């Protein structure tokens, strides 16, 4: 007779091939049962937060269900930040966690269910009667609702026999439940628009092919949210990224659009550049699986699958004439000028003698393999990787932590990205502050990725705080970080490490690429804190105005 843990592990193996784990008292029997499931590969992390962050990134780059597991108590509470991020990013995940015994709480037990529900996750508690069905329900709920489900296994029943479930059916994960709406209103707005724009988010990935065709039919410019950048890669009338990371010239064109079709994008504060990205008279049409529009600026909302709506619009526009000069010639100007890539290449060395991050990133974009999966931590430097690194396709950039505005999840989430896209070079962007937070899972990355390069933007401070609050006259001492030698630390974790003080030092990275880009290289870039990213400058200016 199978134990409860074995039954749960057996169902997990029917749904996924990868699980991200850190074992403890609360999930020991479950991880042991997983080890006997030949179809499942378990990747071990070094900090509990990394299990959920890795699983989240794995889903984002592969679109396969995310599964993580940790023990109870401190092992569980260590995961709350990435769990909140996964909720806000609508990541379908099953998170298997040990729980207090069915006989009642012990002195060290806490309200784990309450914590999960407070951050927006769904909770289920396994029993001995039908643990298989409960696990199936967890997967179905997570997939259909696009939400993390925390599946608790009480400590005293994990190793105990489960009752037989002869009628158990492990149902496949269903396609998105969506009905194609009447698109007449959107059709009328788009077909008469003089300056149409299509904005794609992560939810538009599966519709990328038809979205490009729709844009061509309408003569529309295209643009993506930061995490979806690359979805229109190679399209001549693409403006790159929308919001705070857009170039000034791209922002001007986006702001002049009269009708914007927003597909699979939540229109958060970053995409809307804190409410300044769209003109007051711009009409916004949103297509999303959310129950209601996600921003008050939306004029027309369709709760539907992106591909269904875009296909319906294409069908209705079959006889719509393709504009000879999209945007009355402005689109052609956008293509010829390549406005989105008109970036400042910096000065090489800044006035303080440290490396100019703009110059470094401009060169690294040409050095690093083009088949890349970029993983960005949170912090001031997020602008440099978003501004300067080209992306080959949709989902080539993952920003675990951005929704919840967390730092320290870059290195942990890189492990999941490496599992989800093993054929790429994983390019991690992190700061010295966030890098130290996530440092334990550099070890996991070294032992997971076939090819990875970690770019540490090392300015010896918490850059975002220095720029936003130091500029207001607040005391900066607590914002300072004593210079860390990440190259030496990297070697202790089994990676290669190089210190970059000048642009010429980047030749070491180029040599690593020429040698095959094997293993993990940590690039400790001693950058100047005096070079401020444009998006941070905008935030500072908005703060001053308020």
Query: What is the predicted pLDDT for the residue at 179?
Result: 79
CATH superfamily of 184-341: TPP-binding domain (3.40.50.1220)
529 vs 332, more confident: 529
Instruction: Report helix, strand or coil for 67.
Output: strand
Condensed to tens digits (0 to 9), the pLDDT of residues 207-224 reads: 888 999 999 999 999 999
| Local confidence band at 226 (pLDDT 50, 70, 90 cut-offs) | confident
Q: What is the mean pLDDT of residues 390-408?
A: 90
- Checking if the pLDDT of 332 tops 80, the result is no
Q: What is the mean pLDDT of residues 157-185?
A: 90
The domains of the chain are located at: 4-154, 184-341, 357-545
- Checking if the pLDDT of 339 tops 60, the result is no
Condensed to tens digits (0 to 9), the pLDDT of residues 41-55 reads: 999 999 999 999 999
Query: What is the predicted pLDDT for the residue at 277?
Result: 92
Residue 124 φ then ψ, to 5°: -140, 145
- Checking if the pLDDT of 193 tops 90, the result is yes
Q: Are 330 and 196 in contact (CB under 8 A)?
A: no
Instruction: Please give the radius of gyration of the chain, using alpha carbons only, rounded to the nearest integer.
Output: 24
- Checking if the pLDDT of 322 tops 50, the result is yes
Query: What is the predicted pLDDT for the residue at 480?
Result: 93
| Local confidence band at 340 (pLDDT 50, 70, 90 cut-offs) | very low
Condensed to tens digits (0 to 9), the pLDDT of residues 292-302 reads: 999 999 999 99
CATH superfamily of 4-154: Thiamin diphosphate (ThDP)-binding fold, Pyr/PP domains (3.40.50.970)
DSSP 71-124: -STHHHHTTHHHHHHHHHTT--EEEEEEE--TT---TT---HHHHHHHTT-EEE
Query: What is the predicted pLDDT for the residue at 542?
Result: 66
Condensed to tens digits (0 to 9), the pLDDT of residues 437-495 reads: 999 999 999 999 999 999 999 999 998 888 888 888 899 899 999 999 999 999 999 99
Query: What is the predicted pLDDT for the residue at 545?
Result: 59
Q: What is the rounded distance in angstroms from the CA atom of residue 421 to the CA atom of residue 93?
A: 18
Q: Do domains 4-154 and 184-341 have the same CATH topology?
A: yes
Share of the chain above pLDDT 90, in %: 75
Q: What is the mean pLDDT of residues 375-398?
A: 89
Fold held by 357-545: Rossmann fold (3.40.50)
Checking DSSP bridges between strand 259-263 and strand 300-303, what pairing results, if any? unpaired
Query: What is the predicted pLDDT for the residue at 333?
Result: 60
37 vs 327, more confident: 37
Query: What is the predicted pLDDT for the residue at 231?
Result: 87
Neighbours of 313 (CB within 10 A): 24
Min mean pLDDT across 23-27, 38-42, 282-286, 287-291 is at 287-291
């Amino acid at each position: 007779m199978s134990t409860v843990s074995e039954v749960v592990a057996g169902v997990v193996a029917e749904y996924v091939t990868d699980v991200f784990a850190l074992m403890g008292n609360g999930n020991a029997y479950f991880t042991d049962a997983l080890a006997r499931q030949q179809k499942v590969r378990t990747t071990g992390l070094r900090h509990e937060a990394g299990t959920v962050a890795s699983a989240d990134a794995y889903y984002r780059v592969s679109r396969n269900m995310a599964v993580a597991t940790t023990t109870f108590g401190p092992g569980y509470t260590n995961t709350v930040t990435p769990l909140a991020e996964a909720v806000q990013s609508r990541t379908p995940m099953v998170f298997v966690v040990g729980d207090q015994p069915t006989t009642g709480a012990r002195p060290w037990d806490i309200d784990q269910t309450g914590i999960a529900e407070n951050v927006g996750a769904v909770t289920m508690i396994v029993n001995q009667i039908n643990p298989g069905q409960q696990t199936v329900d967890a997967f179905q709920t997570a997939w259909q609702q696009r939400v993390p489900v925390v599946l608790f296994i009480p400590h005293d029943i994990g190793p105990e026999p489960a009752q037989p479930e002869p009628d158990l059916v492990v149902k496949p994960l269903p396609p998105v439940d969506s009905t194609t709406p009447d698109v007449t209103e959107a059709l009328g707005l788009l077909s008469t628009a003089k300056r149409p724009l299509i904005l794609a988010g992560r939810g538009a990935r599966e519709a990328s092919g038809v979205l490009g065709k729709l844009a061509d039919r309408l003569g529309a410019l295209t643009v993506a949210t930061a995490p979806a950048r690359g979805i229109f890669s190679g399209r001549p009338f693409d403006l790159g990224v929308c919001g705070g990371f857009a170039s000034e010239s791209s922002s001007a064109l986006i702001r002049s659009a009269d009708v914007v079709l927003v597909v699979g994008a939540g229109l958060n504060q970053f995409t809307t550049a804190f409410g300044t990205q769209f003109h007051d008279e711009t009409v916004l049409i949103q297509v999303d699986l959310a129950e209601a529009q996600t921003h008050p600026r939306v004029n027309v909302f369709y709760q539907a699958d992106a591909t269904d709506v875009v296909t319906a619009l294409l069908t209705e526009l079959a006889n719509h004439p393709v504009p000879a000069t999209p945007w009355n010639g402005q689109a052609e100007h956008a293509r010829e000028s390549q406005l989105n890539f008109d970036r400042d290449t910096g000065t090489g060395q800044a006035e303080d003698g440290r490396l100019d991050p703009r110059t470094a990133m401009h060169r690294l974009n040409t050095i690093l393999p083009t088949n890349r999966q970029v993983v960005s931590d949170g912090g001031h430097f997020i602008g440099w990787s978003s501004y300067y690194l080209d992306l080959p396709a949709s989902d080539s950039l993952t920003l675990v932590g951005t929704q919840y505005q967390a730092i320290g999840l870059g290195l942990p989430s890189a492990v999941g990205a490496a599992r989800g896209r093993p054929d790429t070079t994983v390019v991690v962007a992190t700061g010295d502050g966030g890098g130290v937070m996530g440092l334990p899972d550099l070890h996991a990355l070294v032992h997971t990725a076939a090819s990875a390069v970690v770019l540490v933007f090392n300015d010896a401070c918490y850059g975002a705080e220095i720029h936003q609050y130091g500029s207001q006259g607040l005391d900066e001492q607590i914002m300072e970080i004593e210079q860390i030698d990440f190259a030496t630390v990297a070697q202790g974790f089994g990676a290669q490490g190089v210190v970059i003080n000048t642009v010429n030092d980047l030749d070491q990275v180029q040599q690593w690429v020429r040698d095959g880009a094997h293993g993990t290289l940590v690039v400790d870039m001693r950058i100047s804190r005096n070079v401020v990213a444009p998006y941070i400058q905008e935030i500072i200016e908005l703060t001053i105005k308020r």
